[in-house]
Chain A
């Protein structure tokens, strides 16, 4: 039952949608076009404070920070989307099969996911990165692998819950095929839970990606990245605080937007 008079829309949903919409738009545009060249340096404009000309100011080489943030956002959005796509689809497939059928596959998958879920995701990412080396593909792969278990877990527990629901038992009695039960009867029932975890996963991917580039083990130049910008900017905190604030707040903006959005969805479904 809906408690809010607003029905489908609530303030979380609206605010989240506006915030993420703006960030995603800037990011996607930033892949193809930025107001200023992100490589053109200008000694004359070094460390300009935010102004109408450079709304986020300029950095130690006189580059426009806003343009660099757009570009970095683009990288982040692309990487995070691919990570979620990869881990989400593997998670649905494995979660559905293990949750519904149980058995040996379930046992093995659960042992592995337990082990992976058991310790901080950053640690596993570090292991994979140190083995594979850094760079764009490896960041996507390592984060993708690290996030799969959480999706498996969510999807699996939903399938276990619904596997014994009366309406699924009845479907079995009717003689409905197994795959049809899995993907036609059960799957639509888990979407409300699943979308929320996709949003959370997206946020975690953004945070992890920027964290890795901050530590210097994420994407490598020439790929732009917000984390790398922050680590560069840290040395100039005294002279040019905006240099650090701009990429940092951009991350906060998009993550907060997604968090509000997912809260909005959760409340709408509740």
Chain B
């Protein structure tokens, strides 16, 4: 397929700017032919439900348009319809899709697959979210990329291969010959996505549709992929439709942004303009909901101080940003810093036992007037038993956490940040006694610390009513200790109280989890964890599976409950922004070691480790 003849001419730029106000003017000005993709009044329905409603979008060469929205906003359906990949059950109920004034899809007509095939791959291509499942698992990746050439060019065997290798090189893959003959499972997530991108760009298509291309990847890889996409866009000058739920990501890459909600485009404009002056309330909410460093964290520390019983001596909290920090004695603050340094250094080098003396320093601090920590972890290593337990392979013991040291104080939130596989979940399991392959010391003063999990859909028993599940912790406690025996009425009252506390109505008491939304389930999970007043909660990515607006609500709820019930959170997340919002102190974990820890503001403003800087930069 031939490349387009000219780079962007000034006219489309003009058009692009005007676009914000509407495309009518562009049409009037007779510049229609410069617009490559035109989605006019597009509506797509699955049966009776409309997934996309009257969407208008346009794209010119070289432009990156971000489509941002939460799940179910219709952004993916729009993209798939444009690509001719939407399921056969979907019907286009209004509008049409044009590529260079050729009508690809029109309301009321079935998808013309033969026509689409001339465009798919050659003139427009797609990068998907899950690089693992998006590649054929039983075909070598080289062959899969080569299929593009087989389908759309006349090239012969060896030429094809050379072209594929060249494409691999251009997306930053090394040892391309080796990659060529690999199967997808032999590559890392980032490499797979590079292969996908190589496949998408090998024919220099004029349009690349990228559907959440970095969501399934770790932060470091995410950055690389975004850079790669930007680079390709600049080099090849293709237009890109970038679909994401992450406004920050869209901001980094896109010229313009379309915000979608419930199938409609609610706002469309230049990226910075949207961020500076969002017109729609929904956009504002979306921008606010995304935890961002621009926005100040709610000062939970200062408020919660009031709730503490009088006469407990000096404020025992590790001071956290805001007034409390200023008021706290400088001496104590130093101690705290010193203590935390200890943790870091010991974590960094297990073989060094030089940390001992500093450890003693920490002890002193504690004596000096610090309140007793609710949780104290000393030189904790966690192991993981590997391998199937068969006759032939002996179980391998693998160390996943190296010498972790930290304390959690009553009423504070401690964040634990790191990428997947860094050992943060193993650490939390060890603390809760769910993994007994540990060395070191874990002391906590609560009877039964509880946990909140990431996936709201598997956190509740599907066969039991919400009420039953809220009462079960009380029954279990009563069974273990007669002192906690309660009558059925008392339990019910407690359960209803808790239901109200987590912001839900009475009617949910008799419902089963399947009748609840993800956010509601997470509320019930929180309620179930708190009903026995555990004092300490380990929250493992509690909001990661939720939409951003729901995320904000759940975090608010958790902060509210923290003050009301004087809770301590160990808050685990891969998302440093979420942690920023929730936590007083932060620990950064990498490859099983706590490499940096300190107050939230401190870490954000003056990160010491390169890795932390990288996480913050993401």
Binding site for B on A (CB under 8 A): 107, 165-177, 180, 185, 188-189
> Hey, which chain B residues are within 8 Å of A168, CB to CB?
461
Is B472's CB within 8 Å of the partner chain A?
yes
Residue among B449, B450, B464, B476 facing the most chain A CB atoms (10 A cut-off): B476
Q: Are A167 and B461 in contact (CB under 8 A)?
A: yes
Complex CA distance for A189 and B455, rounded to whole angstroms: 18
Dominant secondary structure of chain B at its interface with chain A: loop
Is B266's CB within 8 Å of the partner chain A?
no
- 1/0 per residue, CB under 8 A from A, across B474-512: the answer is 011101100000000000000000000000000000000
- 1/0 per residue, CB under 8 A from A, across B429-457: the answer is 00010100000000000001111010100
A/B interface sample: 26 pairs, CB < 8 A: A107-B389, A166-B455, A166-B458, A167-B459, A167-B461, A169-B453, A170-B450, A170-B529, A171-B472, A171-B476, A173-B432, A173-B434, A173-B450, A174-B448, A174-B472, A174-B476, A174-B532, A175-B448, A175-B477, A176-B475, A176-B479, A177-B479, A180-B479, A188-B463, A189-B461, A189-B462
Question: Contacts A165-B458, A166-B458, A167-B461: A175 and B453 contacting too (C-beta < 8 A)?
Answer: no
> Hey, which chain A residues are within 8 Å of B475, CB to CB?
176
Q: Which 8 A-B pairs have the closest CB atoms?
A: A166-B453, A188-B463, A176-B476, A174-B473, A166-B458, A166-B459, A174-B476, A167-B461
Is B528's CB within 8 Å of the partner chain A?
yes
Q: Are B450 and A175 in contact (CB under 8 A)?
A: no
> Hey, which chain B residues are within 8 Å of A167, CB to CB?
458-461
Shortest Cβ distance from B525 into A: residue: A170
Partner of B449 from A107, A166, A169, A173 at Cβ < 8 Å: A173
Shortest Cβ distance from A167 into B: residue: B461
Complex CA distance for A165 and B463, rounded to whole angstroms: 13
Q: Are A173 and B448 in contact (CB under 8 A)?
A: yes
Q: Are B434 and A170 in contact (CB under 8 A)?
A: no
Binding site for A on B (CB under 8 A): 389, 432, 434, 448-451, 453, 455, 458-464, 472-473, 475-477, 479-480, 525, 528-529, 532
Question: Contacts A169-B451, A188-B463: A174 and B477 contacting too (C-beta < 8 A)?
Answer: yes
Shortest Cβ distance from B432 into A: residue: A173
> Hey, which chain A residues are within 8 Å of B480, CB to CB?
175
B502 to chain A, nearest CB (A): 15
> Hey, which chain A residues are within 8 Å of B455, CB to CB?
166
Complex CA distance for A177 and B473, rounded to whole angstroms: 11
Q: Are A174 and B450 in contact (CB under 8 A)?
A: yes
Shortest Cβ distance from A191 into B: residue: B463
Shortest Cβ distance from B477 into A: residue: A175
> Hey, which chain B residues are within 8 Å of A170, CB to CB?
450-451, 453, 459, 525, 528-529
Shortest Cβ distance from B448 into A: residue: A175
Shortest Cβ distance from B514 into A: residue: A1
Q: Are B458 and A172 in contact (CB under 8 A)?
A: no
Shortest Cβ distance from A168 into B: residue: B461
Complex CA distance for A173 and B462, rounded to whole angstroms: 18
Complex CA distance for A189 and B479, rounded to whole angstroms: 23
Residue among A169, A172, A175, A188 facing the most chain B CB atoms (10 A cut-off): A175
Complex CA distance for A180 and B479, rounded to whole angstroms: 11
Shortest Cβ distance from B451 into A: residue: A173
> Hey, which chain A residues are within 8 Å of B448, CB to CB?
173-175
A102 to chain B, nearest CB (A): 8
Question: Contacts A170-B453, A170-B528: A177 and B461 contacting too (C-beta < 8 A)?
Answer: no
> Hey, which chain B residues are within 8 Å of A169, CB to CB?
434, 451, 453
Complex CA distance for A188 and B469, rounded to whole angstroms: 14
> Hey, which chain B residues are within 8 Å of A189, CB to CB?
461-463
A113 to chain B, nearest CB (A): 16
Complex CA distance for A189 and B453, rounded to whole angstroms: 20
Partner of B461 from A172, A173, A180, A185 at Cβ < 8 Å: A185
Shortest Cβ distance from B513 into A: residue: A167
A142 to chain B, nearest CB (A): 30
- Beyond known contacts A165-B458, A171-B476: 12 more, CB 8 A cutoff: A167-B459, A167-B460, A170-B453, A172-B434, A173-B449, A175-B448, A175-B476, A175-B479, A175-B480, A177-B479, A185-B461, A189-B461
Complex CA distance for A166 and B434, rounded to whole angstroms: 12
> Hey, which chain B residues are within 8 Å of A173, CB to CB?
432, 434, 448-451
> Hey, which chain B residues are within 8 Å of A165, CB to CB?
458
Complex CA distance for A176 and B480, rounded to whole angstroms: 8
B90 to chain A, nearest CB (A): 17
Shortest Cβ distance from B447 into A: residue: A175
B483 to chain A, nearest CB (A): 14
Shortest Cβ distance from A187 into B: residue: B463
Q: Are A177 and B434 in contact (CB under 8 A)?
A: no
Complex CA distance for A176 and B529, rounded to whole angstroms: 13
A125 to chain B, nearest CB (A): 29
